[in-house]
Structure 1
Amino acid sequence: MLTSRSMGRSLFRALTTALRSLPKRRAPCVRFFSDAEIAMPEGRKQADTRIYRPMTETERTYLNPAHFFMLLRAHGTSFFAGVPDSLLKDICAFITDNVPAKQHVIAANEGTALAMAAGHHLATGKIACVYLQNSGLGNTINPLLSLCSQKVYAIPALLLIGWRGEPGKKDEPQHLLQGALTPTMLQHMGVPYEILPDYAEGAFEVITKAYAHMEKEKEPFALLVKKETFETYRLAMQAEVFSGEDMLHREEILEELIECFPSSPLVTTTGFTSREMFELRVQKGQSHGHDFLTVGSMGHCSSIALGVALARPQEVLCIDGDGAGLMHMGAFATIGNSGLRNFKHVLINNAVHDSVGGQPTGSVNIDFPGVARACGYKEAMRARGAHEVREALRKLKDTPGPCFLEIQALPGARADLGRPTTSTHENKDAFMDLLREPEK
């Protein structure tokens, strides 16, 4: 009977044979002229008989998502759960396209994904794979330390972690500290890790090491994934999304929203929402001081807005997203119980993780207004299409809070969408200055 290691070796040999049969990308041959030739008048250059061969060993390589997936399968991993990440979008897309629904769950947050992986191990004895961005590592701390740890239940799981904010690489401010601390966090939590190589032979060695450790020590093992590790893979399976006449994209909804609430403080969720809001203010020549752009802290936008509304008398709007709202939905109960008349909650639901690859959030069939009402919101509505959205926003403005509005939207963003050009400190200071102004 073949062991998982011998199966892995056989698979690796088959994969490398297939890889070697593929046509190689060759760097262009470049001919360099000597100093003497450069000094000669045009038309009198001597023939250069030297042969310049491309240095193929310096060619950039990428890890094929299918090969990586098969290496995990060779070690018995058949269950995958996690929250999509931009650095992992290619492998996440491959998993979404090729793994049955019962064996792949796009989770509301990273902690629940790890808990599902633990449950899978309890039921099958197999090691599951949990994928996440390193910004979601905080959500995994509790199940890592109080569930999967060798000192508690000793449950192995393979963590595939997108390494945003990797030291020495340019990235957004919300990722820099997290990126610098990621290896240290894993070390202090007692989670062994390796950096995943971007070529088949290296990946095989690291994965073999990871599974050998997990099988022996019965604890999680992490693979850190750098930017551009995987080859491009486009998601083929179309996520179930909303459609219909007069449907709006998120940016169009934001434009309607700031027309209806021109002076209210807004707390916008992470991802494309905050980026689009910033550019809308630029286009309209408006102050950025009205908006707190939650560039990180996915799922915490509504709680930030609640904290503002508890401290200030003016109307405060939270502009949430479906993925973010699901990530920490417990905040709905806290908001509902607050009874705050000045709190308005708008959730733009386009049913996908838009900024990290377009994987489904699972929100198409969720009754967000029903959840809000059950949690104590005084009013909860749903709108889709330009006419309904305008009517619902007017009603939202006139209705005392806590009030909730779900707006169903089309997925996608402009290809030329930029990022905020002001610093996070400037954004914070401008927003605080606005809150200090007396109400008009």
Structure 2
Amino acid sequence: MKVERLLEIIGSDFYTGVPDSQLKALCNYLIKEYGIDQKHHIIAANEGNCTALAAGYHLATGKIPVVYMQNSGEGNVINPVASLLNDKVYAIPVVFVVGWRGEPGIHDEPQHIYQGEVTVKLLDDMGIKSFIIGKDTTDEEVESAMQEFKTILADGKDVAFVIRKGALSYDGKVTYANDNTMVREEIIQHIVNVSGEDPIISTTGKASRELFETRVANGQSHKYDFLTVGSMGHSSSIALGVAINKPDTRVWCIDGDGAVLMHMGSMAVLGANAPKNMIHIVINNGAHETVGGMPTVASKIDLVAIAKACGYPNAVSVDNFKDLDDELEAAKSRNELSFIEAKCSIGARDNLGRPTTTALENKINFMEYLKTL
């Protein structure tokens, strides 16, 4: 189905969400059509954030907004859906567009398997009527579903279009780029060179894939690394939990700008606890690159100032490899919590692989290694 036709059928003029590879056609269309225009399109920090934005739009205009997200974001919307939008509370109507990763019977990554199984059930449990759009769904079927949805929305209830893999298409071309020169995979290689045998917790997406392949290229064991393949935004909290309980071991966290934005409150908790044995590195390309390259707001904010305000005693930003190496060595040598923002380009090599070990194997090997420290 052409994404333009879907949005014509829905008939909204405000969209907010968190980008998803399953919804790449939708995201690219919105960027091409509106860019980041507050009146029509806002990319939010997390799915709860965009649900609340949508509620504010409805309160101000009386019109119905659209919230888009990957199904992994359903957990982030449960609270605002149940306690804000619900017709027993404020009865705020919203159209959700949900990318269905991990659909049963469709091969996907391990972090999407269970989420895929419960995607529709979670919508049902939240009282959100859903309609599934696949490659063979006709425009007429979507129009009919939307007619039914309009009656539901008029009662202050919410509805959802669940999008199967490859169901939406868009012929427009969008290029995502920035002016930074450092490449993320090379940044990770520099981190690995300095960290030695210290444990590393890495964020979801391409960063963890590149860390895995760096170990392969170096002929190193994967036991040093915990690859957070899901749970976007929580890697630094996992690292904090490890650092607190392994106080004599230096713990590194490789994070991403989109992940940091998604649950930025974790930086406040980190700064307040200030583990002396932890180094928090945020690789910032100002993009949700793993799902397509759509922009985050991280290129417009001062992450170093935020880290300092949260209580990090050391926080710097680097945009070249000499400064990166110097700051990595300095962080390694000091006995204090350190924050390093590494500004990088958008892009990864086309033949980037995926971990060949399972998530469970990764956990077991990492835990066994931590026992030796």
- What TM-score comes out, normalization by structure 1 length? 0.82
Q: Does 1:171 align with 2:108?
A: yes
Contact 2:93 2:153 in 1 (8 A): yes
1:334 maps to which of 236, 248, 269:
269
- Which amino acid is the alignment partner of residue 205 of structure 2? G
- SS of structure 1 residue aligned to 2:52: helix
* Residue in 1 that maps onto 2:67: 130
Tell me the CA shift for residue 208 of structure 1. 2.4
* Residue in 1 that maps onto 2:358: 423
Contact 1:93 1:233 in 2 (8 A): no
Q: Which runs of 5+ in 1 are unaligned?
A: 1-62
Deviations 1:210-266 (A, max 9, x none): 223212x21111111100001244542645x233xxx21100000000001111100
Q: Which runs of 5+ in 2 are unaligned?
A: none
Query: Superposed, which structure 2 residues align to 1:111-130 within 5 Å?
Result: 111-130=48-67
Q: Does 1:228 align with 2:163?
A: no
Deviations 1:10-66 (A, max 9, x none): xxxxxxxxxxxxxxxxxxxxxxxxxxxxxxxxxxxxxxxxxxxxxxxxxxxxx1111
Q: Does 1:193 align with 2:127?
A: no
2:334 maps to which of 389, 393, 399:
399
Tell me the CA shift for residue 300 of structure 1. 0.3
Contact 2:91 2:156 in 1 (8 A): yes
For residues 210 and 288 of structure 1, what CA distance do their matches in structure 2 show?
Answer: 49
Q: Does 1:208 align with 2:126?
A: no
- SS of structure 2 residue aligned to 1:414: coil
For residues 382 and 414 of structure 1, what CA distance do their matches in structure 2 show?
Answer: 25
Tell me the CA shift for residue 119 of structure 1. 0.5
For residues 272 and 120 of structure 2, what CA distance do their matches in structure 1 show?
Answer: 39
Q: Which has the higher contact order (CA 8 A, sep 6+)?
A: 2
1:280 maps to which of 214, 229, 233:
214
Tell me the CA shift for residue 176 of structure 1. 0.6
* Residue in 2 that maps onto 1:60: none
For residues 287 and 189 of structure 1, what CA distance do their matches in structure 2 show?
Answer: 44
- Which amino acid is the alignment partner of residue 67 of structure 1? R
2:45 maps to which of 108, 112, 127:
108
Deviations 1:394-435 (A, max 9, x none): 122122222100000011111111111101111001100111
Contact 1:167 1:179 in 2 (8 A): yes
Aligned-residue CA RMSD (Å): 1.2
1:344 maps to which of 269, 276, 279:
279
Tell me the CA shift for residue 136 of structure 1. 0.6
1:151 maps to which of 85, 88, 94:
88
Tell me the CA shift for residue 206 of structure 1. 1.9
How has the CA–CA distance of structure 1 residues 137 and 345 changed in structure 2, closer, same or farther, with 3 Å as cutoff?
A: same
- SS of structure 2 residue aligned to 1:376: coil
Q: Does 1:84 align with 2:35?
A: no
- Bigger Cα displacement from structure 2, 264-273 vs 224-233: 224-233
For residues 93 and 327 of structure 1, what CA distance do their matches in structure 2 show?
Answer: 21
Aligned residues: 368
Q: Does 1:290 align with 2:224?
A: yes
Tell me the CA shift for residue 194 of structure 1. 1.1
Identical aligned residues as a percent: 43
- Which amino acid is the alignment partner of residue 417 of structure 1? L
1:95 maps to which of 21, 25, 30:
30
- Which amino acid is the alignment partner of residue 201 of structure 2? V
Query: Superposed, which structure 2 residues align to 1:24-63 within 5 Å?
Result: 63=1
* Residue in 2 that maps onto 1:318: 253
Contact 1:196 1:206 in 2 (8 A): no
Structure showing greater radius of gyration is: 1
* Residue in 1 that maps onto 2:237: 303
- Which amino acid is the alignment partner of residue 153 of structure 2? M
- Bigger Cα displacement from structure 2, 394-403 vs 306-315: 394-403
* Residue in 2 that maps onto 1:375: 310
- SS of structure 2 residue aligned to 1:278: helix
